[in-house]
Amino acid sequence: MEEKPTETIEKAKKETARPTVSTVLPDGSLVEMVCQENRTLFCVSKDGAFRYETSLLVSGQRLVPYSPRNNLLTNEVVLFPSEPLEYESESKLVEDIRAFIHRYVDISPLFEQIASYYVLFTWVYDAFNELPYLRLRGDTGSGKTRFLLTVGSLCYKPIFASGASTVSPLFRILDSMRGTLIVDEGDFRFSDEKVELVKILNNGNGRGFPVLRSESVSGREFSPRAYSVFGPKLIATRGYFQDRALESRCLTEETGGRKLRDDIPINLTGDYKREALELRNKLLMFRFRNFDKRAVDPALVDRSIEPRLAQIFVPLLSVIEDSGAREALRQVARDYHKELVADRGMDMEAQVLEIVQELQSVSDGAGIAIKEIASRFIEQHGEDFERKVTPHWIGRIVRRKLGLKTEKRHGSYVIASSEGPKLARLFEKYGVSGDLGDSGDFPEGMETPPPSRDAPII
């Protein structure tokens, strides 16, 4: 039986329909998918007004929202708002986010504030080219999963990785949803899965670094496919990342150091989900009002904190218009910098630097010898280590962990005379203080360092 023309047209429309969760239309309208009971719709915002659509025709392509029966939605692997909801003010919105986090999660007040601003940032993250990650580190049972569930439920299009049996689906989900990845590294126990996850984390904090994967086409040949993994991420781990660059992209809270607050509910109820949905709805309104108004402001760079930390805080600062809220976050950045410096003060690297500074103050220009550093280190800290401390080991710390160059003089290795400026920055970074004299001059043969606040953003 021959198909009727109208049936053919409808069939063609279905064949060309492309499921979409968000996009920007040619006229600048912002489109976001919303979930209302048993249906999904597009909410289209332009010039302060919004409307609902069941589909959109864009450049000959029909866009449709994902089905409410989609497995990712029915299993709450990805969460969406239901409608834009009015909020009192930006500062009140941040206050409400923080109150919600405080009600269900036990973290430090400092990290609680950082997490609140990070939630706000996720809703306009795609207006930026770089971003930080939020990470909890601690043993099993220290509250990491509760943090991921609670903070994640407020973020922009949260993607809960625990809903995937392997890492492989994450590439497709991230590429199609372009949301916030919520990942518990402990869920990925096998080495090949962890390698794939690290690819996502290493490439996901900067725009323009997709992950390339080789995939089969029609079951025959293999062809490379680029997957975008750029976006905010909440991560929970038991230990440190081996990659220091990846560590530096994370704003980290240590968990399990204190007894759980008595007012924290042991189980999450329906009230929790209703509160989270209401906040997501308010945050959708925030996105509609602020998406095209936020960009990195170089004037927000704080030269009093270390460059890497300044770099990842600037996008967070850039999403805030309220001057009081912005100054509060700047203070959070300074406090976080102080905590990092205090933590580093316990590192072996800091102990080595303290000895370098001691020797620097009495150097006669012959250079600071690795053997002498090792000798003093053994006297002061040798009993703290199970392994034998040797000049070779200390030399590895100086060269590889601190990044200082060495040179050979009179048969002994010394810290290179050109490393004065780098040493000054390392002293500040690790919180190593001491009296270098009023001028801060280095011994003869070493260059006088420029002020550390002039260090470039890296």
pLDDT in tens, 42-65: 999 999 899 999 999 998 899 999
Specify if 229 maps to a domain.
yes
Chain segment 249-260, per-residue pLDDT in tens: 888 888 877 788
Token pair 């009081």 is found at 324
Q: Are residues 325 and 355 in the same domain?
A: no
Of the listed ranges 3-17, 94-108, 346-360, the least confidently predicted one is: 3-17
Q: Are residues 267 and 283 in the same domain?
A: yes
Q: Are residues 445 and 308 in the same domain?
A: no
Max intra-chain CA distance, the chain: 100
DSSP code for 77:
S
pLDDT of residue 254: 86
Chain segment 20-41, per-residue pLDDT in tens: 999 999 999 999 999 998 899 9
How many residues can be counted in the chain? 458
Beta strands in 115-172 (DSSP E): 133-137, 158-160
Rounded Cα gap, residues 148 and 400, in angstroms: 34
Higher per-residue confidence, 242 vs 72 = 72
pLDDT at 456 over 50: no
Buried/exposed 322-356: b ≥16 CB within 10 Å, e otherwise: eeebbeebbebbeebbebbbeebbeebbbbbbbbb
pLDDT of residue 186: 64
Q: Are residues 52 and 107 in the same domain?
A: no
Q: Are residues 145 and 45 in the same domain?
A: no
Q: Are residues 56 and 107 in the same domain?
A: no
Which one, of 84, 85, 11, lies nearest residue 41 by Cα?
Answer: 84
Contact 79, 71 (CB under 8 A): no
Burial of residue 32 (number of CB atoms within 10 Å: 0-12, 13-18, 19+): buried
Give me the chain's average pLDDT, please.
Answer: 83
Domain interval for residue 390: 348-454
Give how far Cα 272 sits from Cα of 59, 73, 154, 419, 427, Å: 41, 18, 11, 54, 46
CA triplet 54, 56, 59: central angle to 5 degrees?
Answer: 165
Rounded Cα gap, residues 27 and 311, in angstroms: 32
Specify if 78 maps to a domain.
no
Q: Are residues 157 and 40 in the same domain?
A: no
Of the listed ranges 8-22, 252-266, 354-368, the least confidently predicted one is: 8-22
pLDDT at 366 over 80: no
Token pair 């709450």 is found at 76
Chain segment 418-436, per-residue pLDDT in tens: 888 888 888 877 777 654 3
pLDDT of residue 125: 95
**What single string gives the DSSP state of each residue in 230-263?**
-S-EEEEESS--S-HHHHHTEEEEE-SSSPPPTT
Specify if 81 maps to a domain.
no
pLDDT at 7 over 60: no
Rounded Cα gap, residues 28 and 362, in angstroms: 65
Specify if 266 maps to a domain.
yes
Rounded Cα gap, residues 415 and 420, in angstroms: 9
pLDDT of residue 295: 79
Q: For the residues 167-178, what does the mean pLDDT come to?
A: 90
**CA 140 to chain CA centroid, nearest Å:** 22
Rounded Cα gap, residues 37 and 240, in angstroms: 41
- Among 301, 317, 344, the domain boundary falls at 344
Q: Are strands 180-184 and 158-160 parallel, antiparallel or unpaired?
A: parallel
Q: Work out the pLDDT band at 94, boundaries 50, 70, 90.
A: very high
pLDDT of residue 429: 73
Structure tokens at 234: 């909440």
Specify if 79 maps to a domain.
no
- Among 344, 360, 376, the domain boundary falls at 344
Q: Are residues 290 and 435 in the same domain?
A: no
Give me the CATH number covering residue 382: 1.10.10
Q: Are residues 336 and 428 in the same domain?
A: no
- Among 7, 40, 69, the domain boundary falls at 69
Alpha helices in 41-166 (DSSP H): 71-74, 90-104, 109-122, 144-152
Which one, of 360, 364, 431, 329, lies nearest residue 118 by Cα?
Answer: 329
pLDDT at 12 over 70: no
Specify if 85 maps to a domain.
no
The H or E element that residue 413 is part of is: strand 412-415
The long-range contacts involving 88-97, CB below 8 angstroms and separated by at least 24 positions, are 89/322, 90/286, 90/320, 90/321, 90/322, 90/325, 91/322, 91/324, 91/325, 93/120, 93/282, 93/283, 93/286, 94/120, 94/325, 96/279, 96/282, 97/154, 97/279
Three-class SS of residue 185?
Answer: helix
Q: Work out the pLDDT band at 342, boundaries 50, 70, 90.
A: low
Chain segment 193-232, per-residue pLDDT in tens: 777 888 889 889 888 888 888 776 666 667 788 999 999 9
DSSP code for 2:
P
Chain segment 319-329, per-residue pLDDT in tens: 877 777 778 77
Specify if 4 maps to a domain.
no
Rounded Cα gap, residues 266 and 290, in angstroms: 36
Chain segment 118-160, per-residue pLDDT in tens: 999 999 999 898 898 999 988 877 789 999 999 999 999 999 9
Q: Work out the pLDDT band at 445, boundaries 50, 70, 90.
A: very low
Q: For the residues 9-16, what does the mean pLDDT come to?
A: 54
Buried/exposed 113-141: b ≥16 CB within 10 Å, e otherwise: bbbbbbbbbbbbbbbbeebbbbbbbbeee
The long-range contacts involving 349-354, CB below 8 angstroms and separated by at least 24 positions, are 349/397, 349/401, 349/402, 349/430, 350/430, 350/431, 350/432, 351/377, 351/380, 351/381, 352/377, 352/394, 352/397, 352/398, 352/402, 353/402, 353/423, 353/426, 353/427, 353/430, 353/432, 354/432, 354/434
Q: Work out the pLDDT band at 453, boundaries 50, 70, 90.
A: very low
Give how far Cα 227 sits from Cα of 86, 134, 181, 407, 430, Å: 35, 22, 14, 45, 38
pLDDT of residue 56: 95
Higher per-residue confidence, 207 vs 190 = 207
Specify if 163 maps to a domain.
yes
- pTM here is 0.72
The amino acid occupying position 231 is G
pLDDT of residue 2: 46
Q: Are residues 221 and 262 in the same domain?
A: yes
Structure tokens at 184: 């518990």
Q: Are residues 327 and 358 in the same domain?
A: no
Give me the CATH number covering residue 250: 3.40.50.300
If one counts the domains in the chain, the total is 3
pLDDT of residue 73: 94
Q: Are residues 175 and 237 in the same domain?
A: yes
Higher per-residue confidence, 170 vs 339 = 170
pLDDT at 351 over 90: no
